[in-house]
Structure 1
Amino acid sequence: MILAIDTSLGTSVAVVDGAAVVFREHAVDTRRHAEHLGGMLERALDGRRDRIELVVAGMGPGAFTGLRVGIAAARAAALGLGVPCRGVASHAGVTTGSAQVTTDVRRRERAWSIVIDGLVADGPHLAPADAVPALDGEHATLERIDADGVDAALLALAVARGAAEVEQALYLREADAVPSAGPKRVSQ
């Protein structure tokens, strides 16, 4: 069995046994991942702990905090269960078919990937929300899916079909925080 966790958009947890989805739960809330994960994991693992062989983490693209919560939870679950943890691009959790998948990564930008048979073939890339490129050539006939969620069950199934491993979180932009220049003067 595979336990899969994704927090790139909302929160999604699933358990897959072969091709059968035995547990699946989603929360659309994009700001309360940690609050949802505990209960979801408890329900997902109920009576299944000893049968989990792999934990899959959705690695984004997504917002920094959301991704970190899901990746940390997946790694902690794998450690606690004594099984390996594997990262997969979250866009593989949107469709089992072929499409141009886009997700909102805030700041009026969308991440996009080419997904072929449920596996990420190209991407993710970043573009202004109103300028995601139209596809041409061999991909011109692909439909565009503007996803508002990721299904952790589809991530687990993508791993079973040979999805490429992703080792680092896919933030797509450099951090914009800067070190402090020192204390600010508060009096004159």
Structure 2
Amino acid sequence: MLLLALDTATPAVTVALHDGRDVIASSSQVDARRHGELLLPAVDRVLADAGLRLDAVTGVVVGVGPGPYTGLRVGLMTADTFGLALGVPVHGLCTLDGLAHAAGFDGGPFVVATDARRKEVYWATYADSRTRLTEPAVDRPADIAERVAGLPAVGAGALLYPDTFPDAHDPQHGSAAALAELAVERLAAGQELPAPRPLYLRRPDAQVPKNYKVVTPK
């Protein structure tokens, strides 16, 4: 097995290779505006670090969000393209699940919250680093304060809103290495991974202007 993992659902452009036993190469760069520019060079870099070629890859796993439209689209389209070109399966995994796995909290329930912009967070609660308790959602931090009270939290969204998440910790962004580890565990256990379809949870930030003037030929 050689699993290529990538995630662009958060400001991090993150890529990793997993050989079925360990993560053998990984790369992460934080730049919310350059996902499309940074992703393919990051793939080239991890392959070079591992001394392997792209055609050695036997499967792809991609973070499906939740996340902003543009960032998610870059990762998902790249994963689909690799799958088609190589003739290998492409799997999806929730980005919040990858963050939970990277956090490694196994002493009780906790929250993962990423920055959803618009003064909102994408979030879910977990029993441990491998078990999600609630479906991913997007909300204003103040609106969920009672539901997450007393729980430790990880992610950039938690760190941004200390009033709601007073016990907040790193990691802040998505981790392809953790995503790959989680995918390998679940595949080895015979679990079927989700399809690589985006988890947007809300409409794109970009909107058609309300007073858009239609120009027709004379």
Query: What is the TM-score of this pair, normalised by structure 2?
Result: 0.73
Cα shift at 1:58 = 0.5
Cα shift at 1:113 = 1.0
5-14 or 95-104, which deviates more: 95-104
Q: Name the counterpart of 2:200.
A: 171
**8 Å Cα contact 1:112/1:132 also seen in 2:** no
160-169 or 145-154, which deviates more: 160-169
Cα shift at 1:7 = 0.4
When the two structures are aligned, how many residues end up with a matched partner?
182
Cα deviations by residue, 1:75-104 (Å, 9 ceiling, x for unpaired): 112222221101111011213234310000
The structure where helix makes up a greater share of residues is 2
How many percent identity over aligned positions?
A: 35
The structure where strand makes up a greater share of residues is 1
Change (3 A) 1:173 1:33: same
Cα shift at 1:17 = 1.6
Q: Name the counterpart of 1:32.
A: 34
Letter in 1 for 2:125: I
**8 Å Cα contact 1:119/1:158 also seen in 2:** no
Return the alpha-carbon distance in structure 2 between the equivalents of residues 134 and 4 of structure 1: 35
Q: Which sections of structure 1, spanning at least 5 residues, go unmatched?
A: none
Change (3 A) 1:111 1:33: same
Change (3 A) 1:82 1:45: farther
Q: Does 1:85 align with 2:90?
A: yes
Cα shift at 1:134 = 4.1
Query: What is the TM-score of this pair, normalised by structure 1?
Result: 0.84
Q: Does 1:144 align with 2:144?
A: no
Q: Name the counterpart of 2:184.
A: 160
- Residues 9-28 of structure 1 aligned to structure 2 (within 5 Å): 9=10, 10-28=12-30
Cα shift at 1:45 = 2.7
Q: 1:67 aligns with which of 67, 72, 79?
A: 72
Q: Which sections of structure 2, spanning at least 5 residues, go unmatched?
A: 157-171
Q: Name the counterpart of 2:134.
A: 122
**8 Å Cα contact 1:67/1:169 also seen in 2:** yes
**8 Å Cα contact 2:7/2:13 also seen in 1:** yes
Q: Name the counterpart of 1:102.
A: 113
CA RMSD of aligned residues (A): 2.6
Letter in 2 for 1:168: R
Return the alpha-carbon distance in structure 2 between the equivalents of residues 74 and 119 of structure 1: 25
